Structure formats: structure tokens, C-alpha cells
């Protein structure tokens, strides 16, 4: 059944490994009773089924052909309102500032092709209190890296601006049907502070410039968009050496840089 249902254009790789599904559930932090649990991408419902042990959840699914199967599989949970099934493209549904009207925790085996934009949306969403997601390992490393590490990137700074991201474990291609060509990783982000969406969007623009050419110095990258004298003044005030590369600068300094520039 999995082979018939998996669709390339939706980036579907159904997680079938029972031990990985259990590991995901065991990795979810203890949630407050007031938090709604949201899943993006129900797929065949194997993770959804396990998430129901946490209480009532809402799951989003883009593939209309999977809906009859999901409605049949979760007939009881749907009728008891333990499960709410929302059908549609999550990127279109999430065009407004917040995905939900009340605080929630997000859990998802994210399709690779939309993983980064969805994680950034969750970071900016003031109702999202944190998330446990699976993405391509390469992407997960960028969100979880520490200052000075080669993977430290604009995504690391965004994640650290609102909390702490932690890489939990890797998942091999053989855990999926069909198997993807890359290794996946599950990571957890717990929000400990809340920045205004406007601030995060301005920071994101600055970071795109700062990390445009990661091997070049921060000064050289910034010089393409800002006056050199202004950059030199900012770096001097912050005590940042002119030869520092973007991945060597701490998140705090990027926040200060944004204020100065």
C-alpha cells in the first residue's frame, strides 16, 4: 500500500520503523496541559496514531487521496474529537502570522523540500512554544550548530534567537518507505524567549547578507549592502575583528549589529 500511495511531488517518505516512531514519542518534552499538539503531514498515520497517546491532536495533510484512508483508520478518534484532520497545503494555510489561535507544540516528519521554510515559520510563530521535527540531517545540523562550528549559519542564529535547538538522533533511509537518498535527523527546539516577528524578519534579512558567502569575512559580505565606514564603526563598537567569518560571530552580536545598522 505504501508504494502505491507515496507521491514524489509531495516529497512523501512514509516512516515505517516502529523503534524510530517510539523514539520520537519518548523524545517529546513534558508538555503543559494547555498546549495543543499539532502534527504536519499525517501520511499513513503511524506517527499520528502514537501521538494520540498524548491526548487530543490536530494533524494536517496535503494529499487528498490519503484522506479516505485516514478517516477510516481514525474513525473512532475523529468521532470522539480526539483527532482533528485538516486537509490542505500547510504553506498556504500558514500564510497568516500564527498557525493556531492558541499555544501549541509542533511535531512533524517534515517533507525535505519544505522543511526549512516551515521551521522558520514555527520560529516566527508566537503561538508555537517549541517543536520536535525530523528533517534532512544537513538542515537539522544548520539549525542546531554552535558558534564557531562549520555548520553555524543564519538558521542557527534564528533558532538561538528564540531558544535552544538540540540534535537528538539520526534516522537511516531504511526506516522509510520509499527510502530517501539522505540521512534524516530528529531535533528539538524549545522556545525560552519571544522576539517580535518584525524583529526576526529584519534579522533574517541581515543574516542572508552576512552569510551570503560563508567563507568570506563578515565585513566583506556586509560591504555589499552597507557603507564600509558604518560597518567598521559597528564592528569596532562590538569588538569584532575585521577578519572574522560569519560562523565565528555569536548570536548576541548579530542582534547588536542589527540595532547599529
> Which residue numbers belong to the known binding site?
13, 15, 41, 61, 89, 109
Q: Is 41 left (phi over 0), alpha (psi -120 to 50) or beta?
A: left
Phi/psi of residue 213, each to 5°? -125, 90
Q: Residue 88 in contact with residue 42, Cβ under 8 Å? A: no
| Residue 3: CB atoms within 10 Å | 8
Binding residues for S-adenosyl-L-methionine: 13, 15, 41, 61, 89, 109
Please give the C-alpha separations between residue 7 and each of 2, 48, 49, 71, in angstroms, as whole numbers. 10, 19, 21, 19
User: Are the C-beta atoms of residues 107 and 130 closer than 8 Å to each other?
Assistant: no
Burial class (CB in 10 A: 0-12, 13-18, 19+), 65: exposed
Amino acid at each position: 500500500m505504501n508504494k502505491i500511495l507515496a507521491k514524489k511531488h509531495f516529497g512523501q517518505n512514509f516512516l515505517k520503523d516502529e523503534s524510530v516512531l517510539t523514539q520520537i514519542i519518548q523524545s517529546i518534552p513534558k508538555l503543559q496541559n494547555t498546549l495543543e499538539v499539532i502534527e504536519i503531514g499525517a501520511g499513513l498515520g503511524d506517527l499520528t496514531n502514537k501521538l494520540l497517546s498524548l491526548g487530543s491532536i490536530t494533524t494536517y495533510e496535503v494529499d487528498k487521496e490519503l484522506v479516505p484512508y485516514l478517516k477510516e483508520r481514525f474513525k473512532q478518534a475523529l468521532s470522539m474529537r480526539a483527532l482533528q484532520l485538516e486537509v490542505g497545503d500547510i504553506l498556504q494555510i500558514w500564510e497568516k502570522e500564527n498557525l493556531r489561535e492558541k499555544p501549541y507544540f509542533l511535531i512533524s516528519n517534515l517533507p525535505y523540500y519544505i522543511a526549512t521554510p516551515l521551521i522558520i515559520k514555527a520560529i516566527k510563530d508566537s503561538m508555537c512554544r517549541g517543536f520536535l521535527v525530523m528533517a534532512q540531517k544537513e538542515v537539522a545540523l544548520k539549525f542546531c550548530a554552535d558558534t564557531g562550528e562549520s555548520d553555524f549559519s543564519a538558521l542557527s542564529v534564528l533558532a538561538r534567537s528564540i531558544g535552544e535547538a538540540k540534535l537528538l538522533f539520526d534516522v537511516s533511509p531504511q526506516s522509510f518507505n520509499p527510502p530517501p537518498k539522505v540521512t534524516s535527523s530528529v531535533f528539538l527546539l524549545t522556545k525560552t524567549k519571544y522576539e517580535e516577528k518584525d524583529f526576526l524578519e529584519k534579522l533574517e534579512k541581515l543574516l542572508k547578507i552576512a552569510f551570503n558567502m560563508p567563507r568570506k569575512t563578515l565585513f566583506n559580505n556586509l560591504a555589499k549592502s552597507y557603507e564600509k565606514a558604518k560597518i567598521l564603526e559597528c564592528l569596532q563598537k562590538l569588538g569584532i575583528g575585521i577578519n572574522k567569518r560569519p560562523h565565528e560571530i555569536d548570536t548576541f552580536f548579530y542582534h547588536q549589529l542589527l540595532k547599529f545598522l
